[in-house]
Structure 1
Amino acid sequence: MKGSLNYRIKEIKDSRGTILITYSYGRGTEVVIATGKKINQVSSWNKEKQRVRNIAIENNSSIINQWLNNKLSEVQQQLTQLQFSNENFTNQEVKSLIKKVLGRATKKDIAIATDTNEIKNLKWCYDWYIKYYTKNPTPSTKHPLANSTLRSLKTCKKKFLEYCKETGDVDFKDINMDFYEKFVEWLQAQNYSNNYIGNHIKNLKAVMNYALSRGYHNNIDFKKREFAKPTEKVAKIFLKETELQSIFNLQLPKGLSHSRDLFLIGAYTGLRVSDFNNLTKENIIDIDGSKFIQLAQKKTKEIITIPCNSKVIRIFEKYDGNPPSPKLDQHINRDLKIIGAKAKIKEKVPVTKTLGGKEVTKPYFKYDLITTHTARRSFCTNAYKAGIPTFDIMAISGHKTEKVFYSYIRATNVDKAKKIAEHSFFK
C-alpha cells in the first residue's frame, strides 16, 4: 500500500478527545475521518504508539486499542486492493472505503465502496492484467505488453472462461496440479498443439504471479516444477538468398506487392515485424552518401542503425523515397503464402507437432510456412552464412547470448564447420 495511514487525536469539549484516522498519499492529499471512538482525556493518547494509554481514567483502553488494530489492518488491505485495481482513485473513493470499514458509511458511501472494492477473483485479475499492462510497463520488461502478447492473453482468457463455463468457476485457490492436469487434458481434447497449450499455461502463471505479489492469494502451487508449460520444437524455416531474389523479381498486383515489399525490408534488415511494418520517412537517413534505417526498436527501445542494401533502396524508391505504409500482420501473413507459391518455393518440409497429446508428422509446402517472422530469421541465417560476425548480427537481432542466437538461426553443423574453417587458425 502506498501512502501513510495513521491515527491521531483531536481535542473536543472538556479536554476529551476523538480518534481520527488519516491517510496521506501525495503532496497536499490527505483524507481525515473520525473513527467514532473517544477517550476521556486528550493526555491519555500515546502519540508515538498511536494508541490509548492503559491508565485508570481510560477503563476501555484495551478494547479500543484492539479495535484500532483490527480496523487499521483491514483498511490497509482494502486500500491496497483499491490501488491495485485503479491507480487513479479519488479522495471520495478513499473516504467511502474507509468509512465502510469503520461502520460509519452512508448508503452513498456503501455504493461507492462496493463498486470500488469488488471481489478480486482470478477472472477479474485476468481482465485487469490485460487492461493495465496495455498502457503501463510490466515489472519484467519495463515496457507495455506488445500487441502480439496482448492478442495471446485475450485468446487465453477466452479459453479459460470457456473451461470455467464447462467445468465450474475456477479461482486462485483452485490452481493446483489437479487443475493443471484437467485443463491440459481439456485443451488436448480440442486437438491443440503442445506449444499452444503451453502458451495458455504461461499466461495463466503470469496472472497468478502478479496477483500473488499484490496479496490477492497465497496459493503457490502454480510455482511447482511440474506446473510447467508444455513445449516442443517445431519447424522454423528461413528463405535462402535465391528464394528471396525470386520473391523480389515477381510481378504482383498492388496488394500482394505491398506485402512483399514489407516482408523483404524485414528479410534484408532483420527488423521485427513491429518495426519494419511501422517505418516512416524519418527512419531513413543518409550517412556519407549511403542510406541507413535508424530507429528505436519497439520491443527493446534500443536505437539501432542498419545499412540498406540495393534492394531495400529500390523498394523505397517505389514509394517516392518512403517506406511502404503499415499493413495488418494477418493480411501480410495471408499474402505471403500466395507470394511464396508464385515464387515456386515448393520444397516439402516435414512438420512434427503434438496434437491432442499425440505426435503427428505432416509434410507442408515451404511457402505455406512463410510468415512475417520468417523475414527476421532469414536475415539472421543468411547474414551468418555470409560471414558477418555473430556479435554484429546480434546487435540488430537483440539476442543476448550466442547460445540463444544459434538456436534461433537455421544453420546446420556443416554450415557452422564451414564458417569456422575460414578462420586463419585452420589455414
Structure 2
Amino acid sequence: MASGNFKLKTDNDWNTIFFRFKQGMQFDIISSTGLKVPKGRWSDARQEILSTHEVRYKDINVKLKGFQAYIRKEFEDTKLQDDTVIINSKWLKEKINFFFNRESKDEKINDKVFFVSFLKSFIEEAKTKRTKRGTAVKPRTIQYYNTTLNKITAFESFVGVKLKLIDIDLNFHEKFIKYLENEEYLNDNTIGGFIDAVRLICGNASKKGLNVCNDYKLTEFYSPSNKTKDIYLKDSELNLIYYTKFEQDYLDNARDWFIIGARTGFRISDFLKLSKDNLNDGFIYKQTHKTDFPVIIPIHEQVQKILDKRNGEFPRKISDQKFNLYVKEVAKIVGLIEPTEGAKVVPQEIIKEGKKKVINRKKHGVYPKHELVTSHSCRRSFATNLYGKIDTLTIMKITGHQSEKIFLDYIKITPREYAEKLKEYWRKMNSEIS
C-alpha cells in the first residue's frame, strides 16, 4: 500500500518541507512542497510544525494533513482511469502545485487553478461551442469575453497578484470594482458587464467541479448599474427631420438612413446593411445580426418614399462612425437644441503613471439634444413611439426583446408623458359622454 510522509533535508535556519511518496518496489519519489519551517520546529514523529511565532503553524499543519488525504485519493483514482498513469516525480509535483494552487508547466493544471488560465480555455471552447438554440456563439460575445480577460489581466498587474479561481470572493469583488472605477474610469453599467462575466466564468468552473469560491452566488457580489438617460425622438421630431431639405448630399443620405432606422426598429448593424434583396411585397425581411432572429416588418410610408426617391434603392452605404457623426449635424440643423439630460462620449484628461493621457468615456449631464442623438436613438424611438398604440408583444417581436420587463426598461417614456396620455384619454372619454 502507498504511503507518504513529510521530511526535512537540511538543518538550516529555515528548511523546506519535502513530501516522500512510495509503494514497495514500484516507486519511491520525493518533491518539495514549497513550504518552509524554522530550525528546530519540525516534528518527524508528529508530522507537523511545532508551536512557533515565525509562521502560521496551525494553518500549515491543517494544510499538510489535507494534502496527505488528497494525494492518497489521487493515487487511488489513477487505478480507475483507462490510460496508464505514470507515478513519478513529475506527477507528484503537479499534484502539489494543484493542491497548493501554484502555477505548473502543464497548462491543463493551470486551467483548473488560475482564473486567467481558465478564462483563456473558456474562450477557446466558446469559439466552437453551440448555444441552446444550436447556433454558434456570436463573435461579439467572444469579443466581450476577451475584453473581460484584458481587464482581469490588467487588474492582476495593478495589484501584483496572479488570481486563482478560489480568490474570486467578495474581497476581489470590492477591489476589482474600485480598480475599474478609479484606474479605468469606467461607468457603472460597463463595470456591471464585467462582473456579470466573472460570475458566468465562476459558474462554468463550478460546473466542471473545480475549486471555486461560492461568493459569486451571493447578492453582495452585485453588478453595478446606473439608470441611463438615453433619449428618443417623438414622431413630431422624426417628421421634422424627414421633411427638412438638406443641400449637402452626405446629410441627406444620413437623414434617410436615420428615418429608415427609426421606422423599422432595426439595430444599426442591421439597417445599414439593408438592400433590395430584403424587400418583398411591401415588407422588409431581415435575419438580425445580433439575435439571428428573422424579422418581417411592413414598409413605412416614409421609408417607401425614400426608396422611390432613390429608384428603389436604399441610401448609399456609410460606416457606423460616420452615421453617428452626421445624424448629430442633421438633428442640430432641424433645431433639436433644447437642453436634455443624457450621456455622451467626451474626451477626458487623466494622469497615469505620471503622464497626461486623454481617454474617451461616457459622461452624464445636460447637453443640447442633438449632441445625444445616435444610432441607438432610432430603435429606441421606434419602440417608444409605438408603445401603447399597438400591443407590446408585436413591438417586442420586431425589436427582439425577450421579456416585457426588459422592454419596458428600454423604452423611454417619462412620467410626465404617461400623465399626458392619461389626460388625453380622459379628454376623449368626456367628449364622448357630452
Shared fold, TM over 0.5: yes
SS in 1 for 2:156: helix
Distance, in Å, in 2 between the alignment partners of 1:275 and 1:198 is 26
User: Is it true that 1:156 corresponds to 2:159 in the alignment?
Assistant: no
Give the AA of the match of 1:175.
I
Contact 1:277 1:325 in 2 (8 A): no
Give the AA of the match of 2:255.
R
Give the AA of the match of 2:367.
Y
Distance, in Å, in 2 between the alignment partners of 1:419 and 1:133 is 52
**2:227 alignment counterpart:** 233
When residues 295 and 418 of structure 1 are mapped into structure 2, their CA distance, relative to the original with a 3 A threshold, is farther
Deviation at 1:380, TM superposition (A): 1.1
**2:173 alignment counterpart:** 180
User: Is it true that 1:362 corresponds to 2:365 in the alignment?
Assistant: yes
Residue of 176, 189, 192 corresponding to 2:182:
189
TM-score, normalization by structure 2: 0.63
Residue of 169, 191, 198 corresponding to 2:192:
198
1:67-97: CA deviation from partner (whole Å, max 9, x where unpaired): 9952256x58xxxxxxxxxxxxxxxxxxxxx
Distance, in Å, in 1 between the alignment partners of 2:212 and 2:221 is 16
Deviation at 1:327, TM superposition (A): 4.6
Deviation at 1:100, TM superposition (A): 6.1
Contact 2:251 2:330 in 1 (8 A): yes
Equivalent residues in 2 for 1:93-132, closer than 5 Å: 98=83, 117=108, 119-120=110-111, 121-132=114-125
Residue ranges of structure 1 left out of the alignment (5+ in a row): 1-36, 38-65, 77-97, 106-113
**1:312 alignment counterpart:** 303
1:332-380: CA deviation from partner (whole Å, max 9, x where unpaired): 3333333322333112112489x9xxxx962112222222221111011
**1:384 alignment counterpart:** 387
Deviation at 1:312, TM superposition (A): 1.2
**2:327 alignment counterpart:** 336
Give the AA of the match of 1:71.
T
Deviation at 1:239, TM superposition (A): 0.8
1:102-136: CA deviation from partner (whole Å, max 9, x where unpaired): 77x9xxxxxxxx77736213213333444443554
Deviation at 1:413, TM superposition (A): 2.1
Residue of 198, 203, 206 corresponding to 1:209:
203
Contact 1:272 1:373 in 2 (8 A): yes
RCO higher in 1 or 2 (8 Å CA, sep ≥ 6)? Answer: 1
Give the AA of the match of 2:397.
A
Contact 2:307 2:313 in 1 (8 A): yes
Give the AA of the match of 1:208.
C
Residue ranges of structure 2 left out of the alignment (5+ in a row): 1-25, 27-72, 91-104, 349-362
Contact 1:346 1:367 in 2 (8 A): yes
User: Is it true that 1:266 corresponds to 2:261 in the alignment?
Assistant: yes
When residues 264 and 188 of structure 1 are mapped into structure 2, their CA distance, relative to the original with a 3 A threshold, is same
Distance, in Å, in 2 between the alignment partners of 1:258 and 1:72 is 71
When residues 393 and 155 of structure 1 are mapped into structure 2, their CA distance, relative to the original with a 3 A threshold, is same
**1:26 alignment counterpart:** none
**2:163 alignment counterpart:** 170
The aligned length equals 325
Q: Considering only aligned residues, what root-mean-square deviation do their CA atoms show, in Å?
A: 3.8
Distance, in Å, in 2 between the alignment partners of 1:143 and 1:421 is 49
Contact 1:264 1:312 in 2 (8 A): yes
TM-score, normalization by structure 1: 0.64
When residues 68 and 361 of structure 1 are mapped into structure 2, their CA distance, relative to the original with a 3 A threshold, is closer
Distance, in Å, in 1 between the alignment partners of 2:207 and 2:380 is 36
Contact 1:250 1:343 in 2 (8 A): no
Distance, in Å, in 1 between the alignment partners of 2:333 and 2:128 is 41
Deviation at 1:170, TM superposition (A): 1.6
